[in-house]
Each structure stands twice: as C-alpha cells, then as structure tokens.
Chain A
Amino acid sequence: MAAAGPSVFLLMVNGQVESAQFPEYDDLYCKYCFVYGQDWAPTAGLEEGISQITSKSLDVRRALVWNFPINVTFKSTNPYGWPQIVLSVYGPDVFGNDVVRGYGVVHVPFSPGRHKRTIPMFVPESTSKLQKFTGWFMGRRPEYIDPKVVAQGEGREVTRVRSQGFVTLLFNVVTKDMRKLGYDTGPVDSQGIVGPSPAQNILW
C-alpha cells in the first residue's frame, strides 16, 4: 500500500445460496445478481449466477439444496448503495412451464465474518382473478420485468405480492480499508488494527 491512505475500500463476499424451503414446489433453480450503488464497482468474481435445478430432499426437511457458490469482490468509495443480493427462484408449474417461484433480496452483511441469512421470498400477484386463472393456465405468471426492482423501494407501491418460501444464504464477508476510511462496521477485530499502521509481523 502506498504511503497515502487508500482511496477505495474493498468488500469481498463469498458464500453460497444454500437451500430453500418451498413446501409447495419442487425442481427449482435460482438466479442471483447484485444490485449496488453508483459508487460501487465489482472488481472480481461473478455478479450474476444461475444455479442448477434441484429437487426436494427425501427426508422430512424437504429442503431444496443448491449450495450454489457466490464469490464476488466489490470496491467502493461510499457505503451508500451497499450491495444487495437479489435472488429469484424459478421452477416448473403443473404444466411444465417455467414460472417464477419467488423473489427476494438482502443486503450483503456489513460486518466481516460469517453470516447466515434466511430471506423470505415473494412473487407478484395477478391483477385480477381472471388474470390469475389465465396466467396459471397459460403458464405465464406475472413476473418482474427486472428482478432488480426488489432491491429498490421506488415504484413498489403499485405491485401486490404474495410471499412463499424461504431461501437460506451463507455469506462470508471480508472488508478491507473500511476502517481506514472511517467506516466502522462491526466489532473491533481481535487484532485491533486501527489506522494506517500495518500489522507488525506479516510473514509470508
């Protein structure tokens, strides 16, 4: 690191989309993408991903396990617009059409460490009963034009949703230089490195 202080901080997220609970549905896959503010830029890893299709486990948990890895690193100058992960889960309906089974969003945890998040999922509702029926019949349920809207507050008032199911995510968060830039996001770590003074003995 140069003598001058850092000009960006880094946020590394790795983890996985572990599993989901959708008691009514089976054979689902999920997509994830990150939504972040203007001051953020991904530097490494994938911002988007689409998982395999998974079927329910046969035990009593009836869990849908993807264990789909997430690994992305962001750099930023401003915590505003902190990345959020947007999940959308799809699966076949009774007629075999691919329909959406849930949207969900959660912020990447702020503090470094291991975090487990269970996020409730929801789907947009049809505007009328008739629409609902035809949607069901034709296999074209209402979907968000852009799943990223679930990460925004704007414009949501026009939609109605129904919640169904949960997705469990695991995050391992590592941040760099946050504290140096004056952002305190968690408990002081055991090393307690504050300020620009580097750790005494880094040997490798």
Chain B
Amino acid sequence: MNPKEEKMKIITEEFLENEEDAPVEGLKSSKLPRQKRKKQPPTGGPGEMVSGKAQDDIQEEPVKQEPETQLLSMKAGRGPRNLPPIPASSRTSFAEFSMRERMREKLQAARSKAESALLQEIPTPRPRRLRSPSEKELETEFGVEPSKEALRTQQEDGSQSYSRVKHHEFIRKIKTKPLVPPGFPSAEDAYNFFTFNFDPDPEESEEKPKATAADKDTQEEEAGEEEEPPMQEGVNKTDEEELLSGKDAEEFLVGLDQTAADFVDVRPADYESVHVRMQREKEILFIPSRFTVPTYKKLPENVQPRFPEDEGLYIGERPEVSRTNQNIVENRLLTQEPERGWFGDDGRILALPNPIKPFPSRPPILKQEQAVHVELEMLYKKAVNYVTCSQHMIGAGEAPGIFQLDIDISGLIFTHHPCFSREHVLASKLAQLYDQYLARRQRNKAKFLNDKLQALRNAVQTGLHPEQPHRSLDTTQKAIHEYKAEIRQTRKLRDAEQEKDRTLLKTIIKVWKEMKSLREFQRFTNTPLKLVLRKEKVDQKADDDAYEAEIQVEVSELLEEHLEDYEQKMEEYRMAYQHWKAWRKAQRAKKKKKKQAVVEHPDEESEEPCPEAEPCPGEEPVKPVPPELTEQAVIEQQVRERAAQCRRRSGEPVLVPELSLAGSITPNDQCPSIVFLLVFVGVPFSFEADGSNQLILMTSGKVSNSVAWAVGEHGVPLSPPLSQQIIGFRSALKRADAISSIGTSGLTDMKKLAKWAAESKLDPNDPNNSPLMQLISVATSGEAYVPDFFRLEQLQQEFNFVSDEELNRSKRFRLLHLRNQEVPEFRNYKQIPVYDREIQEKVFQDYEKRLRDRNVIETKDHIDAHRAVVAKYLQQVRESVINRFQIAKHHFLLSDLIIEEEVPNISILGLSLFKLAEQKRPLRPRRKGRKKVTAQNLSDGDIKLLVNIIRAYDIPVRKPTASKFHQQSRSSRTFSEKCAASPAPHSPTHGVDYPLGQVLVRPFVEVSFQRTICHTTTAEGPNPSWNEELELPFRAPNGDYSMTSLQSVKDDVFIHVFDEILYDVLEDDRERQSGIHTRIERHWLGCVKIPFSTIYFQARIDGTFKIDMPPVLLGYSKERNTMIERGFDSARSLSEGSYITLFITIEPQLAPGETIREKFDSQEDEKLLQATEKFQAECALKFPNRRCLPTVIDISGKTVFITRYLKSLNPPQELLDVYPNSPQATAELVACYVSLIPFLPDAVSFAGVCDLWSTSDQFLDLLAGDEEEHAVLLCNYFLFLGKKVWLMMGNAIPEGPTVYVLTWEQNHYLIWNPSSGHFYAQYDTFCPLKSVGCLIGPDNIWFNIQRYDSPLRMNFDVTKPKLWKSFFSRNLPYPGLSSVQPEELIYQRTDKAAAAELQDRIEKILKEKIMEWRPRHLTRWNRYCTSTLRHFLPVLERSQGDDVEDSHRAELLKQLGDYRFSGFPLHMPYSEMKPLIEAVYSTGVHNIDVPNVEFALAVYIHPYPKNVLSVWIYVASLIRNR
C-alpha cells in the first residue's frame, strides 16, 4: 500500500503544481463539452474530455497502431473508462497487457457501435486534437509517470475498480492541464466556480456501492456502467471537472480518500452492544441458578423421595456445604448430566458421610514413662492427713476452703464372718442364691428368648407361605434359611437359660431344706431367714397344650433339621460314592488287565454295587456309608427328656420362692447350752456328714453406703467448685470423644463406656460405632472377657532407639531438656557442649539443690519457724506465678507482633495540630519520651541507672550542744563550723548558739545500688541544692537481660542523706598554721529506698520524696529550721519530715513488662464479669491513665470482684483497748499495726505482672503482702471502727500504681498510706499519692471522671454522678455479693518469751555483723550505753517515736556526759534478718574509725498479736571526750 500512497501524494503534488495551468486547459478543453452536455449529456463532454488524455496515452503507448479506434471510442463518450490500463500495459508483462488489451478491445468494439452514429455530430474533437502541439512536451514532463503507474498496476491488478479508474482519470486530467498556458481561470470556470452547486455527496454514495461491486467483475462493471443513466454520469463528470477546475484540494482529497478506502476497506469500529453480547453469551455460557431445585426434578418421574433415615437406616452426617453452593451444583448437574445419577433416593446429592471429626482426639499422654507393668500394679497409698495449710496451695488451681464429703455407711452385711455358724453360712448362701434368682427373674432371659423363638417361627411361617409373591424365591429361601439357623441358636440359648433357672430354683430349695434340717438338728434358729415357696396354680389344660405344642414344634423342627442334615449327608454320600465308583471302575479296568493274567476273583464284579468293603491297598478311598435317617420317635424322646430336665413339667405349679426375714430367732435362753461349732475363716469344713465337698470360706461382705457433699452452715454445698469453662469444654468433647470424656482408664470399664454411649447418643446404626456397640452389649450382659488393662503405645518400645534410662543418663540430653522446659537456671544456657564429657556435673548442682530444698523448710536462715514456712510458701507462690507468666508469654496478641497505627481520632489529630503551634524552645521544657529498647541484645554495662539528685528540703540541722557539753569540749568543736564560720563576721568560738548564717548542716547524698556507691558533693544548709547526676551501672542477674529476668531484679536503690562533719584533730594549736589535720565524719540523716522494679516498671521516677528518718536523731533538730526560714517557706515547714527531689531513670529505657493477659477462671457471675469488662473499657476510653480494677486475682489465681474483699473485720482487741476514748488514736494505732506487717519482699518479682490479692486472714497468716493487702486490711479495720472508708486506687511515688485508703473524718478527708501507717490530709502537698483512679467501697466502685486526678484538686463526694462514675447503678443494682473475707479474724497472742529470745538473737547477730564490717578496727561495746538505750526503746514504741526527743536527750546527757554521741533508733517491721542487717549497714554507723570509738546497740521487739513484731534497733557510736 505504501508505495501507492506515496505515489498518490506525488500525484497530488503534481496536481498542485499544475493547478494554475489546469483551468486554462479546462477552459479550452471543456468549453464545448459542457455546452454540449446540456443538450446531449451522454456523448459530448466525455469524449471531448478524454480525447486529450487519449492522446497522452497514445503517446505513451508503445503500440501506436490504433489511435483511430481510440479516438473513436473517446468520441463515443466512454473514453476514460478504458484508458487507464493502457499506460499500465505499457510496462507490465505482456500477458497482462494482452488480456487487458483484449478486454479493452471488446469494450471499445461495443462502444464504437453505440457511438459511431453520434460521432459525426461532434466536429470539435478534431481541432482539439490538432491543437495539441505540446504533446512532446508532455511526454517529457511525464516521463517518469508511466513507470509509476506500471508499478501501481502491477500491484493492483485484478481489482480495477471504477473509482480507481476515476482516479486515473483525474491524473490524466492533471497531466493534460499543464498543456494549457498558465495564468487565468477561464470565464467558464469562474462562473462555474461561483455558481455551480458542488455536491460531492451523491458521488460518494454512488461510488461506494460501485466500488464494492466492481471488485467482482470488471467486465460486468464496465457493461453496467454503460447502462447507467447518462445524466448521472454527466453530473459526476461535472463534479470531477469542478473539482479540478475549482482547485478544491480538499474535494480532491476526498476523492483520494475514497480511493484509499477502497484499498483499505475501512469500516466503523467493531462494537457489540452489551445486549448482543449477553445474548451471545447466553448461548455459550450457562450460569447455574442459585435457587433450590424442586425435588421432583432430581428424581426419576413419578418417584416419591425416600428418606432412608426415617426408615431407620444409618445415614452418616453429610459434610457441610452451604445451601447456595449445593443449589448451584444441583442445578449444574441437572443441566449437564440429566441422567440423574448424581442424586440419591432422597433427592439430595449422593455424599459420603463427613469424615471430619469435630474434635481432635488424642488420649492423654502418661506423664511418667514407667514400664507398663508398673502401671498395672496395684499400689498401696497411705492415707494422707488433711493438711490445714493446703489452703495456701494454689498449684492445683483449686479454690481454697474446706470440702466435705459425707459418706453414710448404712449397713454392712457379711457373707461370711468368723462368728458365723453353719446356719449363718447356709443363710448367706441362701440369700445370695435368692439375690441371684431375683436378678435372673428381673432380666427374664428365658422369656425373652422364648418370645424371640416364637417370633422367628412366625417369620419362617410367613416366609414359607409368602403373601408377597414379588419377592424372589431365592431371597426368601435364603432368609428362611437364616431364620432357621437363628431358631436353632436361640433354642439352644433358651434351653440353657431355662435349665439355669431351674437348677437355681432347685438349689435354693435344696439349701433351704438343708437349713431346715440343720435348724431341726441343732434345735435352735439363729437366723431370721425364711423361705416361702409360693405355688402359682396354672391351668392344667392350657399348660399341657402349650407344653405339648412346644414339644411338637420342637420335634418337627428337629426332624426337619435332621432331614436336612440327612439330605446333606446323602448328598455327600452320593458324591463320595460316585467318586468311589469311578475309582472302582479304574481299578476294575486295571484288574481286568490283571485278570487276564490271574483270574482269581470272579465274584468281585457281582459284588461291586454292594457296599461291602473290599480291602484295598494303599490310598484307595473308603467306600462311603449311606447316612441313616433319624427316627422321629428317637427325636421326640430326646426332646422330651431335655424338656423334663430344664423345664417345668406341664401342670406342675409355678414355684415362686420368697425369702423373708420373718423367721423367729430362738431366744438366747432357749438355746441349748452347747456352743455350736463355728465355721472358722479359712478352715475347710463341710456340710456333708462324710466331710466331702469341703468349703473354705473367707470373711466377706457387702457394705451399703451413700455418698454426698456435705452442706455448710449457710446451706452452701461444700463441694469443690466446677469451673464453668472447663465444663463447657468437656461436655462438648464428651459427646464426640470417648477417651476425652471418660479417660483412657474408662475404656476398660465397660459400664462407664456404656454409660457414655448412652449419654452421648451415639447412633447405634452408624457402622463406625458398631464394634463399640457390640462390645458394650456384650460387656453389659457380662459374658465377654474384657482385659483389665489398656495399653496405648504397645509398640512404643520398639521405636525407642535408646532406653529411657540411658537417655536420662545423658547429661547433654538432660541439659537440652531442661532448657527446653525453660527452667530458670538453664533458660539462657548457650552453646550446650557437644559431648557429655564436656558438661560439668556442677551445672546441675544448683538446680538439684533447689529441687531438693523445695520441700525442706530450713530454719537456719530464719529465726522463727513460722517465718520460715511463710518464706517457703511465698517462694512457691512466686514460682507458680512466674510459671504462669512463662506460659502467658507464649500467648501472643496481634499487638505483640505487629505495629499498626491506630485509626486517628479527633483528639489525636487535634493534638498533632496543636503540636505544630508548639514553641520550639518552651520556657518550661518537659522531658520527652525516649525510644524504648527491647531487652535483647543488651549486655553488662549497657544499662545505666541515672539518678538525678536535685535538692532537698528541711534537712535537720545540727543542734547546738548544751552549754555544759559545749564548754567542756571546746577543742573538739567541729572544724566545719569553724571553717564555715570563718568568713562570717562572728567568731564561732563566741556564740553558744549558732549565729545566723552559720552552716547548720553539710548534707550530701550517697546513692548505692548493687554494691556500687556514688555520692554527690556536699552542699550546705538545710535546703541544699545539688542538681547532680549520678550514674550507676546495672547488671542483670546471670547476664540475662530478658524481660522476665529484669522483672525479678530485687535490688533496691538506696539514697542516703548524710551530714558531713569535719573534726579538727589537731592536737596542738601551734601547728595549725603549718598543717591541717581534720577527720571527716559523716552522720546518717535518713534514706529513701526505691526498688529497682519500681523504676523498671515506671520507666522514670520523678518527684519529691519524704526522707525516711529515724524518730530520734541525736544532735539534730528541725526547730531551728522553722525559725530561720519562717517567712518565706512557712507552708512547707508545717509538714514534718524532710524531703528530697529526685529524678531516676534507666538509660536506655527498657520496655517494661506487660501485664499478664491470661484469662483466669472465675466463680463470678458471667453477667457481672461482662459488666466489669464493659466498665473497664468505658473508663479506659475516657481516662486511659487512671487505674480501675473492678476485678482482681486472688491467691489461687481466680478472678474475684474487688468489693468482695471489703468487709468489716475486727482489729486485735488489745489495740482497741489502748485508747478506748480516742477513736483517732485508735485509728492511728491500727494503721501502725497494719504497717508493721512486712511488705512482701518477693512481690517485686511479679509486681505489675500480676497482682495477687490475698484475703485478710491469708495476709495475716502469711504476714507478708503488698500495698493491696495492707490497704484492704486497714480498710476492713476502719470499717469495723465505723469509719466511712474507701479503698483508693491510684498512683503514688515511689510505689507507682498502688492502693491507699481514704477515710472521711467529721469534716475532712484523710488519705492513709497503708504500708507506712502515715496519713495525710487531702490538701497535703507532700502526700505521696499523686493521682486517684477510682474509689472502692464495700458495695460499689466509683471511677474518677473529674478533670483532675490529683487528690489536691479533687472532690471526693462520690454521690455526685458527674464526678464519679459508679459501677452499680440503677441499671445494674448491687447484687449483694458475699465477701471472700472470713467472718472474723482470730488473733493469737504472740509468745512474749519467743519475742524476747528473738530480740536477743537479733542483737547478737547485729553486733557480730558490725564487728565483721570493721575488720581493721577493734570494736568496743559500751554496755552501759547499751542498757540505757534498751530502756529507752520501749518508750519509743509506746509513743511511736513522737515527742520524746528532748527528754531522751536529756537523759542520755545525764548518763553519758562525757561522750560525744551519735546514733539513732531504727524502727521496722520484722520479716527476716536480712533487711535488718541491711538497714543497720546502710546507716554507716560502723564506718567511724576513730581509735577510741565505742558502740552501743540495743534491740527491742514489741510483740503484737498474730505474731506481728515491731523491731527497734538503736545503734550509736560514742567517742569519749577528753
């Protein structure tokens, strides 16, 4: 196509070039034709027009012989049609040319005929032709043209369409045009241009069909064209001419396009409408409908659906397929394969039963891998006493409490006993037999079998006389045959049963007779047994008939059997006989041959048919004997005999034995004096006179009893609670799986199995269950042998590649195993050696020791035994919690694995917008959160503890020594005082009292953590500001930085405040100029203790803490403080104690442990649990940071509603008696008592992970607990005291999330810290409680929905629903939950002697320790001072350390006048020795190394009820003043 197009382009260009010329030519050439056309359209113009062209062509043509004809034809007016091929032929192959030539000639011939006449009328062609002088020119100009044309024709041969022809025509015209002199359009043209109506449309419409038609046959085309109306032709012509002359390039191009379309065959874009496509798709595609197919469509015609299930046939459960899919498949099947082979009788798709079990079944694996025979052995277990402390055991997950199982033993009946007499033996035998009889009668198997027999016989009868002839004879025959076999079987069984019945009856009677004779013989009766045989009359006639009929039936059956048997045997006989005969024949043939030789047995042949046996040698078959038919009489005889034996004779009355205890026992006095022979146990004896039939009887008997759970005082059954969840799970399983419901042992117990089968509604028709059903049916009738053991893995042994012992001996295996079990010692064991020999035995030592110690309570470390038990128990609780946590660690939530952005809500968006406006450098910068580090790739030294010590307030100042003391010890006055005073205008030596501005105290802070000690520089004054950051390295235990390990770090951070005192020890004042000789002493002022776990869970600790100070600090006071600083800090001074501002954090920040997510069992109502969840969720939504715990976990790991913990409980009476008139004092005392119960030191190991709440009695028994327990106990005591009290959940420093107690006193609220016993007013700035989440009362929970959660800014009026959201409201009224607390707390008086002993031991140990800590110095004990202190301690205990300082000091001074004394009493609850030692150590009293220092140490233990001990330790150092 391309070349053609190109050429066309060229042509166009040429045309354009010649445009100007064209009209000139046109003017001349078309003037006439046009005029003529109007008159004679068919002839004039075209001929005229073309003539020029013809000339061209002729010129081009190599064959120039026929210009005349050409011309002629032109004149005929159809010239242009035949012209184009001519130039083509000029260069094309000769064949083609010739063909065209021929065609042209034909046409021309036809035309010339038609036109010859017209030719004369037109005179013009001649001059025109003559007038073409530039013919030569043209030839030169178009020299290239022919070749192009030739090319084109070559390609297009065969498809010479009209349009193309026309195109050529145009070209011709163009070619002719240059002939005309350029310049002006002719007048005619101009006229035409402006006036003529161009109308290319008809041309288009005309030509199109023509073009298509022309393709078919050129000849026809040509012919047809001639017949076309000339008028139209003329119009066309004109158009073409106008195109040319009018220079309308576009019009021309349209013409060109048309030609192009002819070549290309342009069509509109294919478009199929959706409808059409759908229509078409409908033909191809089949979309099965989703609607249910009516059943009749699926079944063959006129067949009703059958439901085999209704007919009792077993239909397995079909696999679950959705209804829609089923419908689709059915529809598809119906359409595609209408043979309907897919559908069953019930009109559903045939399907195999669902092969999927609803539950996986795996028998529980036996824990201990012991040999099987060991499992089967019976073991004697000693009865275990009920252990009272088992209520603390939480391992089994059982609820604490006492369960009581009542067993009521109603009677014991001996079947044999050493005291039995012969009569007793017989009586028991009789009783047993009677029981047996009753059991048999109840079951009445004989009757059942009899009925069955009757039924079978009937079946045979109907079978023999069939009423439904359609049944094939064959099947009937078969059925009858089976029936008969069944009859035989059943009859045998029945006979056996009947015989048993009868013999039993006989035995009973026999025994009874024996007994009667015995009674007669011994002349007394000592058993009340009495057998009455009741005769039931029977209708003699009917009985006879029945009996006889039965016999007859039996006989006939037997006969029949025999007949059958006989026939069978006959058949066999015949066969055998045939065989034998054949053999004989062969023999005979042989013999015949022999006979020719030896004729010895001539009679043999005659005898042949006779059954007389012939002694044949070798393997010769024995001649069969024909069977004999049994005589009917014989059979009848047999039947009758048997009937007589095992059946009641006809007419004989039915004997019904009745055993009763109505017999009278011979009274004792009537008994003969001789003591009758007793039947001894184990000694053979006999009832027979000859001593045969000996019996050996053992003591045996029956116990009848009933078992039930006891009912408690309040009507509560004392039964172990069943967890709902477990029940649900089990019951679901039960139905599906036998093993899971009754256990593997149940498989051997047929009764259990049968029971389970009945309960679970096993389909007895299910073929899967058939062996089971059979087993059960057999087992329940008690006939089959059931092995009394069951093996699960009988093949296991073969697969063990090494014996278990050997495997266990392997140290490596053991190590791997322990590590896999995540045993703490091995959890992080890396690179277990390849060889056993490389594993050292000591690896296991710690572990084994721990295992050994688990159950051994060591009293060595613990001074009193009770604490030891408690410590052990706590250890166990901790382990179990840790285990729980370990398990929970393997449960994952999505958030554990995947970080996903929350869908942002308005507040977050708002916040982020707000952030945009935030100042870049705010005036009050806040600490920003750091990136958390997951503790994975950490190692020692990576983690640091940062302690930022900012400032302290109200540090006690040194008290000016009393004047007497002062004057005496002038030289020993503190150096620091001098130094510090030196810049001051006053000389220190002048003033007795401290002058203003003198340094009162030089405190510094020492932080100790994990035996690393750092301290700040010393600051001055009672309100020092250090602002120093101390960095302490942190080492995780065993280098294990996993979360669990970090959680269990028990170290504390101690922040001690010391006063640094410089003593001038220069002996001689004269040396003062040349040397400084001072001694630094530091006096402990107080400390703050923060557990590491708190820091870990809190991530940071920021705040002001109260410094824990001893009640008495000798030499220091705070009075001066207030005096000096009065005016600018009076508010702070109001509060007692000193405070320190700290910021502690861990660098890098560690991801804190998550709370355990395990869902615990609960005995709470499901509704309540749901409500709590909802409440919690709602609260968390509003205030995610406020704590709210409607439910807590009790010590056995069950979820308990929190209000159940609150109940009025009595404090010890002793405490109430102390201040009978002052409720406030009593409250304080009670709080103090509660605070004396030690804080559970182990709690840190699972603080935050899982809070276990123990009840108050458990708490008091354990004598250890965390904030919750303290708070609950205190709350309960306050309830008893009649206060309005709430538990208050919130955050405090340094504890973090904690529980406090809130009380309402007459007109204000008090906040109690239960673990310290301190209380604070609501508006106390130094209250450690910083935020309040919720309040808990005994009957409701209120969540704080106020704007602020700081107690300072809160309103505690819980009745205001706008401030407090209550859990129980009108919608959910308080259901009256019973308390988990005991009714009453019982307090034992603590043994005073034991306390005293403990006191002495503690004192001794502490003294030893102090000496130990001073290895380089001699430690001297000042006994006098010690005794003074010892007297003083009880006073402190009584006053709780208040307001005793002055008197104490005075007394001390009086007694120890010439000593410089530094010391203080420490007060703490007693839990164990270690904290006491720690506390003493941390004060640093022992650090004084003055040569002449003396020490004093006194311990006092005040015993409170329930073994709560308050320990006072007074430790002091004394330096003698010279």
Same complex: yes
From A11-19, A83-91, A108-116, A137-145, give the one contacting chain B.
A137-145
Closest beta carbon of chain A to B476's beta carbon, Å? 62
Is B819 in the interface zone, CB < 8 Å from A?
Answer: yes
- Contact A7 to B838, CB < 8 A, known contacts A38-B830, A145-B896: yes
Contact assessment for A41 and B896 in the assembled complex, using a CB-CB cutoff below 8 Å: no
Which one, B281-289, B569-577, B887-895, B1017-1025, is touching chain A?
A: B887-895
Stretch at the interface among B898-906, B982-990, B1110-1118: B898-906
B831 CB-CB contact with A under 8 Å: yes
Name the distance in Å between A142's Cβ and chain B's nearest Cβ: 4
Interface residue stretch chosen among A21-29, A51-59, A154-162: A154-162
Instruction: Determine whether the beta carbon of B819 is less than 8 Å from that of A143.
Output: no
Chain A residues bordering chain B, tally (CB within 8 A) = 36
Closest to A180 in B: B834
Confirm or deny: B897 has a beta carbon within 8 angstroms of a beta carbon on chain A: yes
A181 touches B834 (CB 8 A): yes
How many interface contacts (CB-CB < 8 Å) are there between A and B?
84
What chain A residues lie within 8 Å of B897 (beta carbons)? Answer: 124, 144-145, 149, 155-156, 158-159
Q: Tell me if A163 counts as interface (CB < 8 A to partner B).
A: no
> Is A7 a contact partner of B892 (Cβ separation < 8 A)?
no
Residues of B contacting A145 in the complex (Cβ-Cβ under 8 angstroms): 896-899, 934
Chain A CB count within 10 A is highest, among B838, B892, B893, for: B892
State whether the Cβ of A127 lies closer than 8 Å to any Cβ in chain B: yes
B720 within 8 Å of A (CB atoms):
no
Could you tell me the distance between the alpha carbons of A142 and B829 in the complex, rounded to whole angstroms?
Answer: 34
Q: Which of A63-71, A128-136, A166-174, A192-200 touches B?
A: A128-136
| B833 close to A (CB within 8 Å) | yes
Which listed residue, B829, B832, B835, B901, touches A135 by the CB 8 Å rule?
B901
* Interface contact A126-B900, CB-CB below 8 Å: yes
Residues B838 and A78 in contact, CB atoms below 8 Å apart = no
Once A127-B900, A134-B901 are accepted as A-B contacts, the answer to whether A158 and B893 lie under 8 Å apart by CB is yes
B892 touches A154 (CB 8 A): yes
Task: Report the minimal beta-carbon distance from B507 to chain A, rounded to whole angstroms.
Answer: 69
A157 to B894, CA, bound (A): 9
B892 with A155: CB separation less than 8 A: yes
Once the chains are docked, how many angstroms separate the CA of A59 from the CA of B1042?
Answer: 49
Give min CB distance, B886 to chain A, whole Å. Answer: 13
CA distance A135 to B901 in the complex (A): 7
Q: Which of B829-853 contact A (CB under 8 A)?
A: 829-835, 838
A175 to chain B minimum Cβ distance, whole angstroms, is 14
Question: Which residue, B816, B833, B834, B835, has most C-beta atoms of chain A within 10 A?
Answer: B834
Chain A residue contacts of B833, Cβ below 8 A: 7, 77
Q: Contact between B893 and A38 (Cβ–Cβ < 8 Å)?
A: no
A98 CB–B CB distance under 8 Å: no
Residue A119 CB within 8 A of the other chain: no
B898 touches which of A40, A128, A144 (Cβ 8 Å): A144
Contacts of A76 in B (CB 8 A): 831
Quick one: CB contact mask for A20-62 with B, threshold 8 Å, 1 for yes? 0000000000000000001111000000000000000000000
CA distance A183 to B485 in the complex (A): 67
Interface on chain A toward B: helix, strand, loop, or mixed SS?
loop
Chain B's nearest CB lies how many Å from the CB of A88? 13
Say if the beta carbon of A189 comes within 8 Å of chain B: no
* Cα–Cα distance between A170 and B640 once the two chains are bound (Å): 96
Cβ of B458 under 8 Å from chain A: no
A10 within 8 A of B: no
Given A38-B819, A38-B829, A159-B894, answer yes or no on A135-B900 (Cβ-Cβ < 8 Å): yes
Q: Let me know if A8 is at the binding interface, CB within 8 A.
A: yes
* B894, closest chain A residue (CB): A158
Shortest distance between the CB of B811 and any CB in chain A (Å): 13
Residue pair A140, B934 in contact (C-beta under 8 Å): no
Q: Using Cβ atoms and an 8 Å threshold, which residues of chain A touch B1487? A: none
Are B894 and A131 in touch, CB under 8 angstroms?
no
Q: Is the CB of A138 within 8 A of B832?
A: no
Separation of A5 and B828 alpha carbons in the complex (Å): 26
> Which residues of B are found within 8 Å of A80, using beta-carbon distances?
816
Contacts known (A7-B833, A7-B835, A38-B829); A134 close to B896, Cβ less than 8 A: no
Q: When the two chains form their complex, are residues A127 and B830 in contact, meaning their CB atoms are under 8 A apart? A: no
Decide yes or no: A8 and B901 within 8 Å by CB, A38-B819, A145-B896, A155-B896 being known contacts: no
Q: Which residues of B contact A146 (CB under 8 A)?
A: 934
Which chain A residue lies CB-closest to B820? A80
Q: Is the CB of B898 within 8 A of A159?
A: yes
User: Nearest Cβ distance between residue A100 and chain B, in whole angstroms?
Assistant: 10
Q: How far is the CB of B407 from chain A (nearest CB, A)?
A: 47
Q: Could you say which of B890, B892, B901 contacts A140, with CB atoms under 8 Å apart? A: B901
Whether A154 and B900, one on each chain, are in contact in the complex, defined by CB atoms closer than 8 angstroms, is no
Report yes or no: A77 in contact with B832, Cβ–Cβ below 8 A: yes
Cβ contact within 8 Å between B899 and A143: yes
The distance from the CB of A83 to the nearest CB of chain B, in whole angstroms, is: 14
Q: Taking each of A126, A155, A157, which has the highest tally of chain B beta carbons within 10 Å of its own beta carbon?
A: A155
A130 — nearest CB in chain B belongs to which residue? B903
What separation, in Å, do the CA atoms of A42 and B1004 have in the docked complex? Answer: 48
Contact B831 A39 (CB under 8 A): yes
The smallest beta-carbon distance between B148 and chain A, in angstroms, is 43
Q: Report 25 cross-chain contacts, Cβ distance below 8 Å, ordered by A residue.
A: A7-B834, A7-B838, A8-B831, A38-B828, A38-B832, A39-B831, A41-B830, A76-B831, A78-B816, A128-B903, A131-B901, A134-B903, A138-B901, A141-B900, A143-B898, A143-B900, A144-B899, A145-B897, A146-B934, A154-B890, A154-B892, A155-B892, A156-B897, A158-B896, A159-B897
6 tightest CB-CB pairs across the interface, nearest first?
A155-B892, A142-B900, A140-B901, A77-B834, A158-B894, A142-B898
Known: A130-B903, A155-B890, A157-B892. 9 other contacts (CB 8 A): A77-B833, A131-B903, A134-B903, A145-B899, A146-B934, A149-B897, A158-B894, A158-B896, A159-B897
